Amino acid sequence: MENMIEVRNVTKKFQEYKALDDITLTFEKGKIHGVIGRNGSGKTVLFKCICGFLKVDKGEIFIEGKKLGRDIEAPPDAGVIIENPGFLPGYNGFQNLSFLAGIKKKISKNDIKGVLERVGLDAGSNKHVGKYSLGMKQRLGIAQAIMEEPSLLILDEPMNGLDNQGVEEVRMLLMKLKEEGKTILLASHNKEDISVLCDTVMEFDKGKILEKR
Amino acid sequence: MVELRKTLRICMVGLRKIIITPRFYLAYLWVFFDFAPAIGAIRRFSSSVGMNCSPWVFALLTEDSGKQLFIILGALLLFCDAPFLHANSSWQILRAGRNNWFWGNMLYIWLLSFVYAVGISILTVIAMFPMVEWNTGWGKILGSLAQTSAASQFGSEQFSYAIMVQYSPPAAMVLTIAAVWMNAVLVGVCNYTLNFYLKKGTGNVISVVLGLSPLLIVRLAKFTMGYYFSPPLWMSLANYKWKGYGYGISFGYAYGVLGGLILICVVCSWKGIRKRDLDFSDEV
């Protein structure tokens, strides 16, 4: 199967500390790839490098054959949640998504309303994001990631703050997105999420891949 | 290549973000509190003589180095979170690309600085209500406060008569607003560059030093050459040579140096944003 992402001998250092140590891996298209590991193991750093937020010290990253930093600045068609979802607290969910959607202008207002309903949020609500619970913010973060129907989703702990029903709904959503042919990178502390959802699993420890299965 | 539409969108998101933060209004309130005693004195004088004041007082108020400090600190309130690397920015960068995102930020700094400069000049007119009336000249109130002892009697500052003689009121307003605008842009890009390259807050410290420089030069050191090294002093038309005569700096020098400093900051930060890691932090 064709590769969506290819990471070749990537090392990322913060001063002397190696957050990623000569990592080589590939993520195939159309699959859910789980990335697990303790805090500080390198999962988030890997995701940030793939997104182009962090520059690698050594090695190369290719997104659909295009070299990051040379051919492209960032994955051209990706939806991302890394760390805490950051929204403008004085605006409602719809407005927040509209501001972001306005940058690419790929989707309509109705599409935004549709995606809000898809993640279980009220599209007509005027409630400001500042008054949202952590779970609602997380749902809005997921809506932000999937709204432009990207072919690649990079999700770092997307279940954070969700109740059991929310976790179940997001799992169903991810399965559906996989059926639609999306490639999903999923970092989670929850082993059940990984075992239920993922086609491949990589365990990270101290910036190295401990296990692939 | 820069895509103008994405750049504009990034700028608009920034403006929408700032107008709902208390910092935006605090910046105006901050300047207003500093201007209020001087404007109060003009209102008292106006009401005692039963005449309204012309709306050009802003061009005269910026002569005071204390007010220059407050204007710089107001601009600092607007740009203290530069280079605007918040959690929300990561999503913007993914959609716009680093380059467009950076130029969107630069446009945001220019536009917000313009709104700030025009806003505080309008604030001085609003604060004068109802003792204000349209007048194409400086008017008797401001003229009297510049030429007689009325200023000291009513607790007002002695305004510069030289400014009134040398400039028409609209020209003085435009030149003063332009200098405040450029100074606010300088604060913005200086914060952007220094906070990005060095420890966060470094740009803020340098901006405070910039704001304090007129006070240090004019009130403490009386260092005449210092007028060449303190951009906030250039917000006062009294500090310029007039038609090539007299003491002080020229407009060419002031705008050349301001433009040069802004350009250096923009080029440095552009290189940094393109080449370096982007470290996202919490919203201010």
* Structure confidence by residue, pLDDT tens digits, A126-172: 999 999 988 899 999 999 999 999 999 999 988 888 888 888 888 88
Q: Residue B223: which pLDDT band, with cuts at 50, 70 and 90?
A: low
**What integer pLDDT is reported at residue B254 of this predicted model?**
95
In B, residues 96-125, which contact A (CB 8 Å cutoff)? 96-99
Lowest model confidence (mean pLDDT) among A51-60, B1-10, B117-126: B1-10
In this structure, are residues B167 and B152 in contact, taking their beta carbons and an 8 Å threshold? no
**What integer pLDDT is reported at residue B227 of this predicted model?**
85
Would you say residue B280 lies in a domain? no
Q: Residue A202: which pLDDT band, with cuts at 50, 70 and 90?
A: very high
**CB contact A173 to B (< 8 Å):** no
Q: Which residues share a beta bridge with A21? A: none
**What integer pLDDT is reported at residue B258 of this predicted model?**
97
Residues whose CB is less than 8 angstroms from the CB of residue B229 and which lie 6 or more positions away in sequence, other chains included? B213, B217
**What integer pLDDT is reported at residue B96 of this predicted model?**
92
**CB-hemisphere CA count at 13 Å for A83?**
19
Would you say residue B284 lies in a domain? no
**What integer pLDDT is reported at residue B3 of this predicted model?**
87
Cβ A103–B6 below 8 Å, yes or no? yes
Average of per-residue pLDDT values in chain B:
90
* Distance separating alpha carbons of residues A86 and B87, to the nearest angstrom: 4
Cβ B96–A103 below 8 Å, yes or no? yes
Q: Residue B199: which pLDDT band, with cuts at 50, 70 and 90?
A: confident
Q: Residue B107: which pLDDT band, with cuts at 50, 70 and 90?
A: very high
SS3 content of chain B, % helix, strand, coil (to 5): 75, 5, 25
**What integer pLDDT is reported at residue B108 of this predicted model?**
97
Indicate which of B6, B16, B91 best probes the interface with A, i.e. most A CBs within 10 Å of its own CB.
Answer: B91
Q: State the smallest CA–CA distance between residue B62 and chain A in angstroms.
A: 34
**What integer pLDDT is reported at residue B1 of this predicted model?**
66
Return the sign of the alpha-carbon dihedral for residues B103, B108, B111, B117. negative
In this structure, are residues B234 and B184 in contact, taking their beta carbons and an 8 Å threshold? no
Residue of A nearest to B96 (CA): A103
B259-264: average pLDDT: 97
**What integer pLDDT is reported at residue A161 of this predicted model?**
81
**What integer pLDDT is reported at residue A210 of this predicted model?**
84
Q: What percent of chain B has pLDDT over 90?
A: 63
* Distance separating alpha carbons of residues A5 and B23, to the nearest angstrom: 42
In this structure, are residues B112 and B78 in contact, taking their beta carbons and an 8 Å threshold? yes
**CB contact A80 to B (< 8 Å):** yes
Number of structural domains found in chain B = 1
Residues whose CB is less than 8 angstroms from the CB of residue B134 and which lie 6 or more positions away in sequence, other chains included? B54, B55
Q: Nearest CA to A78 among A113, A111, A106?
A: A106
* Distance separating alpha carbons of residues B8 and B103, to the nearest angstrom: 9
DSSP, collapsed to helix, strand or coil, labels residue A147 as coil
**CB contact A144 to B (< 8 Å):** yes
Which domain, by its residues, includes B32?
2-275
**CB contact B271 to A (< 8 Å):** no
First to last CA, chain A: 17
Q: What is the pLDDT of residues A71-99, one digit of tens each?
A: 998 898 899 998 777 888 889 999 999 99
* Distance separating alpha carbons of residues A116 and B101, to the nearest angstrom: 26
Would you say residue B120 lies in a domain? yes
* Distance separating alpha carbons of residues A144 and A140, to the nearest angstrom: 6
Would you say residue B138 lies in a domain? yes
Q: Which residues share a beta bridge with A187? A: A35, A156
